[in-house]
């Protein structure tokens, strides 16, 4: 396996980070990093830590060294090198992360999740109107891993608050069965593109083939996450198998519209990437004062309800016609 930490891996340009990863030869993890500076979105950090834990669980030998780049103290503080089993040879004083970031955290149980959610709240510097939806989003992304992914190393999460831009970035990664295999248990999917597109639609759950999900899983988490990014004009990505879905910000000066099918949103699907055996999710969220999350939630809930009702009606009509 190969892991390269580039100069920059934000959601805008994260494809380069994914393309330079390699899942080949699980007996060895080859680690490299840019010689001068490394900046990774929390999604890229979570994936890197997850890969390190997979390599360790496989007994893989780690080859490579940590470079003394300017951003090394940040990477050390986020806890990356403990997961890739490399010594950065740098001692730093631990700063209080509350209000700035959540370091890489491995979540294997609902109790771990509850503890992590407590850490999310002070990170936001926000009123409950903003904090509660983001807490729900965070919880849903991790719950998807715990309930559907079968990841042997659990979920890896981290987050960063950028004070100047008043933006929160969140990343979640797992090394489970991936979106296609998860949905294929109850839905007909033939490719990773089709599976990701289906997973982003309201009312689609990996727990059941029933439109609207069931009592414990309504199939709303990923649609909700995409909706927050779309209506606040931010980036959102999902990487699973060999496919990347990227939600784009859309043209400036035009009011963003929430669509129930992701192909109707401004987006890219990139296929043929190195196969990630699991799922990586990344999102940027605006948390500036005055952000109207209540209106965003109203739009998302309305779209969810209308689309699920419409597809249920079409489904039962099809059943009646088949009779």
Of 93-97, 165-169, 227-231, 236-240, which gets the smallest average pLDDT? 93-97
Enumerate residues 6+ apart whose C-beta is below 8 A from 265. 226, 230, 247, 248, 250, 259
> Hey, what are 150's tokens?
């079968």
Judge contact between 169 and 41, C-beta under 8 A: yes
> Hey, what are 287's tokens?
């948390």
Domain membership of residue 141 (yes or no) is yes
Domain membership of residue 76 (yes or no) is no
DSSP element (H, E) containing 139: helix 128-144
Cα dist from 220 to 21, 200, 216, whole Å: 30, 8, 11
Q: Is the pLDDT of residue 313 over 90?
A: no
Q: Which long-range contacts (CB under 8 A, 24 or more apart) does 12-15 make?
A: 12/235, 14/41, 14/43, 14/44, 14/237, 14/244, 14/246, 14/282, 15/244, 15/246, 15/270, 15/273
Q: Cβ–Cβ contacts within 10 Å for residue 24, how many?
A: 10
Domain membership of residue 87 (yes or no) is no
Q: Is the pLDDT of residue 218 over 50?
A: no
Which range of 211-220, 239-248, 287-296 scores highest in mean pLDDT? It is 239-248
Q: How many domains is the chain partitioned into structurally?
A: 1
Domain membership of residue 4 (yes or no) is no
Q: Is the pLDDT of residue 40 over 60?
A: yes
Domain membership of residue 252 (yes or no) is yes
Tell me the sheet residues that pair with 4.
32
Write down the pLDDT at residue 119.
77
Tell me which residue has tokens 């992304």: 141
Write down the pLDDT at residue 296.
65
pLDDT digits (tens, 9 = 90+) for 135-151: 888 888 999 899 999 99
Domain membership of residue 122 (yes or no) is yes
* Averaged pLDDT score across all residues of the chain: 85
Range of the domain at 278: 97-322
Q: Is the pLDDT of residue 312 over 60?
A: no
Domain membership of residue 18 (yes or no) is no
CATH of the domain at 278: 3.30.565.10
Write down the pLDDT at residue 309.
59
Domain membership of residue 230 (yes or no) is yes
Angle between helix axes 128-144 and 293-322 (nearest 10 degrees) is 40
pLDDT digits (tens, 9 = 90+) for 249-301: 988 878 888 888 899 999 999 999 999 999 999 999 887 766 666 666 677 77
Q: Is the pLDDT of residue 215 over 80?
A: no
């Amino acid at each position: 396996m190969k892991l390269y930490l580039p100069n920059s891996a934000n959601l805008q340009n994260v494809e380069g980070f994914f393309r330079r990863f390699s899942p080949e030869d699980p007996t060895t993890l080859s680690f490299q990093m840019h010689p001068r500076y490394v900046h990774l979105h929390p999604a890229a950090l979570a994936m890197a830590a997850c890969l390190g834990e997979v390599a360790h669980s496989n007994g893989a030998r780690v080859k490579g060294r940590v470079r003394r780049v300017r951003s090394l103290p940040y990477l050390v503080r986020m806890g990356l090198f403990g997961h890739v089993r490399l010594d950065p040879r740098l001692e730093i004083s631990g700063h209080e992360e509350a209000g700035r970031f959540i370091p890489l955290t491995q979540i294997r149980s609902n109790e771990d999740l509850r503890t992590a959610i407590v850490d999310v709240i002070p990170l936001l510097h926000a009123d409950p109107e903003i904090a509660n939806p983001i807490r729900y989003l965070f919880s849903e992304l991790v719950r998807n891993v715990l309930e559907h992914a079968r990841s042997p190393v659990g979920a890896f999460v981290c987050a960063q608050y950028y004070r100047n831009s008043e933006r929160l970035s969140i990343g979640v990664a797992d090394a489970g069965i991936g979106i296609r295999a998860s949905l294929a248990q109850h839905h007909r999917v033939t490719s990773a593109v089709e599976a990701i597109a289906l997973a982003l639609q309201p009312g689609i759950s990996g727990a059941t083939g029933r439109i609207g999900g069931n009592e414990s899983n309504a199939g709303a988490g990923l649609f909700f996450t995409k909706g927050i990014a779309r209506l606040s004009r931010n980036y959102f990505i999902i990487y699973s198998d060999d496919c990347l879905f990227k939600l784009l910000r859309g043209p400036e000066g035009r009011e963003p519209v929430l669509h129930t099918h992701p192909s109707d949103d401004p987006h890219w699907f990139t296929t043929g990437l190195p196969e990630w055996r699991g799922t990586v999710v990344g999102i940027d969220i605006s948390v500036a004062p005055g952000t109207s999350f209540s209106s965003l939630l109203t739009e998302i809930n309305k779209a969810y309800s209308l689309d699920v009702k419409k597809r249920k009606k079409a489904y039962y009509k099809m059943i009646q016609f088949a009779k």
